[in-house]
Amino acid sequence: MVDLFGELPETNTLSDSDVQFLDTTLRDGEQAPGISLTPTDKAEIAQKLDATGVSIIEAGSACTGVGERETILRVTNLDLDAMVTSFARGVKNDIDLALDCGVDGVNLVVPASDRHIEGKVGTTRDEVIETTVNLTEYAKDHGLWVEVLGEDGSRADLDFLERLMSGAIDAGADRICYCDTVGHATPEHTAAAVSQLAPLGPTSTHTHDDLGLAMANTLVSIGAGANLVHATVNGIGERAGNVALEEVAIALDHGYDVETVETERLYDLAQTVATATDVPLAPNKAVVGENAFAHESGIHTDGTLKDETMYEPYSPNAVGRERRLVLGKHAGRAGVRSALNEHNVEVTDDELTTIVERVKTIGERGRRITDTDLLAIADEVQGRDRDRPIELLDLTATSGGATPTASVRLAVDGEEHVASGVGSGPVDAAVTATRKALDIDATLESYHVDAITGGTNALVTVEVEVSHSDHSVSVNASDADITRASVTAMLDAFNQLLETDRRSVTVTE
């Protein structure tokens, strides 16, 4: 049987490690396809990384161009507590360009595997060592902090990698870095490689997730003696990405009592990067995904209400999150009652049974049940007449001409509102007219025909999802006329939103 993790040094366990982060979101993260951060984006992210407690921020690659250098200079001028560095290839001009940006240091990347030494650069092992020594001495002579990274180190000959990094340390490098550049390595190999490098001097680890092993390789690196982790926020990066900073931070904090950063700031940091990069967080993303602290199952919800740690490894507050009890087809009585209690709605046991059944029925259709939906269900079950500030008085729609048109007449808090609109079809025209008549600050998130009955008197069911601020509601309406069903659904949704938060939704003429 293969021992995947090998035998780690007894003198360096995770629990007694002092670990810091080098964040490369602004460099390696930006190299992911489709990502291009503006100078403002980079400055904001750098400030939040600094506030989170990240020790080193790789602000970019000065060799990329004038625009990149101006952006790096903007970050260096922020007067951050974190050290700011630039990526530099194994050429003197890259170091000079980094110096022009006012950085504190450089991440000097040199080829380590024969594939890169011979196939990419066209040189020899001895020449790589000589160049590395000369460039390290040059950078140190100019007052820079220097980290030397052996590119493709996970596929390098380990004896050569040790010789290369030993030369860098002897030349004055502040630290060396083991790089799994292509996400090739297994934890067993990573542990062996870092164990061989760590005795030489301060050692970092740089892992990619092509095999889904970035986290495992990071943890065994630390166990083998590495004390600086290269990571990106949300794990963005080339191909399958880098190890995720927030995941490493929480794994070390929760699993090994190793404090690295202010974890309470991680969710805000993740959201900032997701917005800036336009790369949304997957719902099941560890630590920062929408579902990380969401519970729908009746058993899980009931257990969580009794003991918050029942189905969570750590508190959502630890990463700046809040727990959510989600209502859907798996909802149970405890979860539904808890949600109602949050809105001060008291129900009998029989009423709760009916409400739970309706919630489950809606959930089985694949719909998300919002707080607004739940309150509307409770109103109906308890027989309360809901205030309906908006009523449909008249609707006409025509599509016989070149341009479909529609007009609506509504009563809004007793006042008559009339508007007309045009669209690509009668439904589009009617929805446009309705929105003009109301001028409601809300968004139509989705619209589709949910079901059509058979026969000559076919009944059309339209479903719309409308949102405003933090509230959203999905509503069905049925009618033999698809246009009327659409407008009715829209108005029902608006009425529910108005009822939920009348003060935040304004209706004007």
Residue 508 has pLDDT above 50, yes or no: no
Q: Give how far Cα 4 sits from Cα of 17, 191, 216, 304, 493, Å.
A: 22, 9, 11, 35, 56
The distance of Cα 384 from the centroid of its chain, to the nearest Å, equals: 41
Give the model's confidence band at 462: pLDDT under 50 very low, under 70 low, under 90 confident, else very high.
Answer: confident
What does the pLDDT look like over 463-489, one tens digit per residue? 888 886 667 777 777 776 889 888 988
State residue 5's pLDDT score. 45
- Tens of pLDDT, residue by residue over 390-445, are 888 999 988 766 789 999 999 988 889 999 999 888 888 998 898 888 877 778 88
Segment 8-35, tens digit of pLDDT: 444 446 666 699 999 999 999 999 999 9
| pLDDT at residue number 345 | 82
Q: Which of 437, 457, 440, 458 is nearest to 449 (CA)?
A: 458
Domains of the chain, each with CATH number or no CATH: 14-277 (3.20.20.70), 294-382 (1.10.238), 390-504 (3.30.160.270)
Model pLDDT, residue 367: 63
Query: What does the alpha-carbon distance between residue 226 and residue 204 come to, in Å, rounded to a whole number?
Result: 5
d(CA 63, CA 481): 64
Distance of CA 363 to the CA centre of its chain: 25
Does the pLDDT of residue 306 top 60, yes or no? no
| Sign, CA torsion 193/198/203/205 | positive
Please say whether the beta carbons of 32 and 48 come within 8 A.
no
Q: Is a pLDDT exceeding 50 seen at residue 300?
A: no
Cα–Cα distance measured from residue 73 to residue 491, given in angstroms and rounded to the nearest whole number: 53
pLDDT range class, residue 509, cuts 50, 70, 90: very low
Mean of the pLDDT values across residues 84-92? Answer: 97
The pLDDT of residue 191: 97
Give me the chain's average pLDDT, please: 86
Rounded to two decimals, what is the model's pTM?
A: 0.68
pLDDT of 455 reads 53
Mean pLDDT of all residues in 243-248:
98
pLDDT tens for each residue of 141-184? 999 999 999 999 999 999 999 999 999 999 999 999 999 999 99
d(CA 108, CA 24): 14
Judged against a pLDDT cut of 60, whether residue 346 lies above it is answered with: yes
Q: Return the sign of the alpha-carbon dihedral for residues 119, 123, 126, 130.
A: negative
Low-confidence winner among 130-139, 240-249, 306-315, 378-387 (lowest mean pLDDT): 306-315
- Residue that wins the pLDDT comparison between 207 and 377: 207
pLDDT at 447 over 50: yes
- What pLDDT shows up at residue 366? 66
Name the 3-class secondary structure at 267: helix
Maximum average pLDDT range among 182-191, 379-388, 432-441: 182-191
